[in-house]
A and B are shown apart, each in its own frame.
Chain A
């Protein structure tokens, strides 16, 4: 079993080999591959392209028949009013997402360490039963969770979302850290044990300093999924405007009745997507790693 599934993807094959003279058929296939790749590129990029070009045409400048055509001059007129509506929910989202991601990462790291390096009798069964929590439809826990929030006194506060993302993030965060720690050689831990180090000391002194990439992966994963989450947000906040977050505020702008204001809607959608897109652009490798960890292998 390979230790790191993500580097398998990102470490491209050595293509220098292919540089030797291609025969006719080889050249044909290379051209064919590029044409196919370019076609898929156009399809993949189309929705975000539309969003970007229509966000700089101003509020009234968007004509549907010309929506594929880039603007002749940049007009950020739609950005100001949209940002006014989105600023508060986005700031609120940022604060709650940071809280839940950091706590999730800490819990995931401790759990992952135990399941990878400090197994106890039955730990595999317990780990597997955690994983089930990753697949469940949240609809199946939503009604009791709403009641629990009321009972616990956090109903009507943003902590309903902090709490939900921490709890239901436990499976994936544990899994990512467990896979990550399995890549650390056992010899390292055995050697420390022989020297009389306790497991808690080993975790603090050996494992934690090696965990930074694992933390980055989990933080990015939790950040992206909590930022983009709509289900918990709409269920647990009950659509209350004083608890609106990025996605629910966006849905309020673009939802039924406002569907014709494409300039505004595209701008709002783009603004809400910017934070996760930035993370993806600069830390895409780690995002990919989190994504692949969710596939249970590695």
Chain B
């Protein structure tokens, strides 16, 4: 224990004599094989399907179709509709969750009596399935208005904001914005936890020093704390982004396969199960995968690099 850094070298080198450097490899080999087959291999398989003519369950025509299925998607109004829905949902969901999670963290960050209680309440939605919470949200976002109003419309009615009553997720234009509400509700606590971890990783001295120098609280956040949190911001954006691209249960639990709230994952499911069109379903899956991969792969490379640097 008394050994300090200068003595580290000899131990490092002695390691090689004692232990085969490949010993560890054999213990993870089963997992490597599993990942190679079930993640990378199956992605390849799906890509192959997406480039094939297997457009029905009956004809097992696996011949090469080129990019036909993908160009077909562009001309499919149902697909473009689902895609634009997903974009709308993603924007509102990401911005909304980021803001509300950040507000929660800012309110708790300095420590306050009852913090543990508030924190657990804000985070519990993460422990419940979307299918179960969908029941409550379906009722909360019931489209009945005026005399028959229930749920959120009833609240708006009672507090004198009846002008704001609306059809929520069944409305033609605002459906995806309404659908973002339960998603924001579900994920805000997670973002709060990430930011709390970020805030509390910043040494107190930084804040104290700025205070001694007479900086206002606002300036301390703006110029000292937030810049320190940029890795947290990045993590939050990546997590929210990839969850949003994949969103399925949350929407299915509330409005099923309804047209106005259809997103790519729901449409893909419908294409596979209801229309049995494997090639087209695979093409939609590949689109979702690419959307995620263009963001996640650079992020993983970045994380990998910072890890190497910290070693």
Interface centre among B1, B46, B142, B148 (most CB of A within 10 A): B46
Closest to A280 in B: B127
Q: Which applies to chain B's interface (DSSP): helix, strand, loop or mixed?
A: helix
Q: Does A230 contact B (CB under 8 A)?
A: yes
B-side contacts of A142, CB under 8 Å: 272, 285
B-side contacts of A8, CB under 8 Å: 196-197, 200-201
Are B24 and A273 touching (Cβ within 8 A)? Answer: no
Q: Does A45 contact B (CB under 8 A)?
A: yes
Are A273 and B129 touching (Cβ within 8 A)? Answer: yes
Are B131 and A47 touching (Cβ within 8 A)? Answer: no
Task: Provide the bound-state CA to CA distance between A128 and B261, in Å.
Answer: 35
Assuming the contacts A144-B46, A167-B38, A296-B235, asked whether A199 and B24 have C-beta atoms less than 8 A apart, the reply is yes
Cross-interface CB contact of B197 among A9, A168, A255, cutoff 8 Å: A9
Are A47 and B140 touching (Cβ within 8 A)? Answer: yes
Cross-interface CB contact of A230 among B104, B190, B249, cutoff 8 Å: B249
* Per-position 1/0 for A139-152, Cβ under 8 A of B: 11111110010000
Assuming the contacts A123-B24, A228-B128, A265-B135, asked whether A193 and B142 have C-beta atoms less than 8 A apart, the reply is no
Categorize the interface residue count of chain A. Answer: 35 or more
Are B310 and A50 touching (Cβ within 8 A)? Answer: no
* Per-position 1/0 for A182-212, Cβ under 8 A of B: 0000010010011010110000000000000
Interface residue count on the B side (C-beta < 8 Å): 117
B-side contacts of A174, CB under 8 Å: 31
Interface residues of A in 88-115 (CB under 8 A from B): 107, 110-111, 113-115
Assuming the contacts A51-B135, A137-B292, A296-B303, asked whether A111 and B127 have C-beta atoms less than 8 A apart, the reply is no
Interface residues of B in 148-205 (CB under 8 A from A): 148-151, 154-155, 182, 185, 188-190, 193-194, 196-197, 200-201
| Extra A-B contacts (13), CB below 8 Å, given A8-B196, A121-B21, A144-B42 | A13-B109, A40-B104, A41-B121, A43-B185, A137-B289, A140-B286, A143-B272, A187-B1, A190-B15, A251-B253, A256-B256, A269-B134, A277-B127
Interchain residue pairs with CB less than 8 A apart (15):
A9-B193, A9-B196, A12-B115, A37-B112, A40-B107, A46-B136, A64-B148, A128-B301, A131-B300, A139-B265, A139-B281, A140-B285, A140-B286, A235-B269, A279-B127
